[in-house]
A and B are shown apart, each in its own frame.
Chain A
């Protein structure tokens, strides 16, 4: 397990970009490059990351990036992978880097197709739980009760379980991550890079702009979401489910912080009633019963 001090100094997401102050996606991108270096080609659909690097003729990315249509990450990445193979280029990793919109909703078809075909790439969904780039409208990843501009009184539906959907494709690697646990994300990326086939990583991307919290709290909120059990760090490797630290220590409800501690820090949950908070707590507890059953099982 690599330590922070062993990480390389080089930056491939260059400073002075248009990311919001405190952006979880920017931290996640830096971690991506710390893990994989610069022999990476990114395929980026319409999302915050297509704007973060700034406008032509400049970009903040120091690796090749193919920006593409909103729906198309999985398909375009398939094309890039095929081209590299035809050209005999073996030491470059193709990474699809898409927001929750381009993964859960409009992009799910192309992602599903790419996974079904066993496309040899890493797909990372950085999830800020809304259509952030267009001004925080709800997505299939928006959690129950959250304010967005299109769910002003709180979303009534639950978040889609994208990791289970991806696991159902029988791909070799599915994992979750959070920028507040940087070494966990970096290790998962390095593991994924060594595997053949489609690797899917779902990283939560706390968003001060969309979630309405002070920009300094991105990492703090990322820790709380895991400590409350709302976000679970796990891997499904060749179908076998495994909880990662610290989530593997939270199976016992007493060890989990109450969800309230996470929700109260964010303006998007300001209108939750007591009964909403209790409902959310119940949902998390019920999900954990499932995780308990899934531990070390094949899914």
Chain B
């Protein structure tokens, strides 16, 4: 919905439309960003299922990629990654 000028362009009551980024580009919240090392990833999809934002994109072959526009940098994906001794997802400080 564009920004209405008059009431006639508004719904009669507070009916809201499904929108990606209703809070804007929440990627701006990050202090740390997750980095995926595809050579280590075992396609277990734990990061995908546990991401609170649903911004880990599951590809056709079950590899994953991060939507950095919305990733809030919580670090759960890295925390749950089962790969040892070095995780397939690590957190790095966001550039200034």
A216 close to B75 (CB less than 8 A): yes
CA distance A34 to B76 in the complex (A): 19
Assess whether A7 is interfacial by the CB under 8 Å rule.
yes
A4 close to B46 (CB less than 8 A): yes
Q: Which residue of A lies closest to B21 (CB)?
A: A16
Q: What chain A residues lie within 8 Å of B74 (beta carbons)?
A: 21-22, 208, 215-216, 218
B18 close to A23 (CB less than 8 A): no
A22 close to B52 (CB less than 8 A): yes
CA distance A15 to B52 in the complex (A): 9
B17 close to A22 (CB less than 8 A): no
Interface size bracket, B side: 35 or more
- Which listed residue (B20, B25, B51) contacts A14, Cβ 8 A? B20
Assess whether B42 is interfacial by the CB under 8 Å rule.
no
Given contacts A57-B1, A58-B17, contact A30 B46 (CB under 8 A): no
B76 close to A16 (CB less than 8 A): no
Interface string of A173-216 (1 = CB under 8 A from B): 00000010010000000000000000000000000100000111
Closest chain-A Cβ to B94's Cβ sits at a distance in Å of 13
B16 close to A59 (CB less than 8 A): yes
Q: Which residue of A lies closest to B44 (CB)?
A: A4
CA distance A17 to B54 in the complex (A): 10
Interface residues of B in 1-39 (CB under 8 A from A): 1, 14-26, 29
Given contacts A9-B58, A219-B50, A219-B79, contact A15 B26 (CB under 8 A): yes
Closest chain-B Cβ to A228's Cβ sits at a distance in Å of 18
B18 close to A218 (CB less than 8 A): no
Given contacts A9-B58, A15-B55, contact A55 B22 (CB under 8 A): yes
B53 close to A15 (CB less than 8 A): yes
Interface residues of A in 3-25 (CB under 8 A from B): 4-5, 7, 9, 11, 13-19, 21-24
Assess whether A54 is interfacial by the CB under 8 Å rule.
yes
CA distance A282 to B91 in the complex (A): 38
Given A18-B26, A34-B49, 12 more pairs with CB closer than 8 A = A5-B45, A13-B54, A21-B73, A22-B52, A30-B51, A59-B19, A214-B75, A215-B75, A215-B76, A218-B74, A219-B50, A219-B80
Can you list 15 pairs linking A and B with CB atoms under 8 Å apart?
A: A14-B18, A16-B23, A17-B22, A17-B23, A21-B73, A21-B74, A22-B75, A22-B76, A23-B52, A26-B52, A54-B19, A56-B16, A58-B17, A59-B17, A215-B76
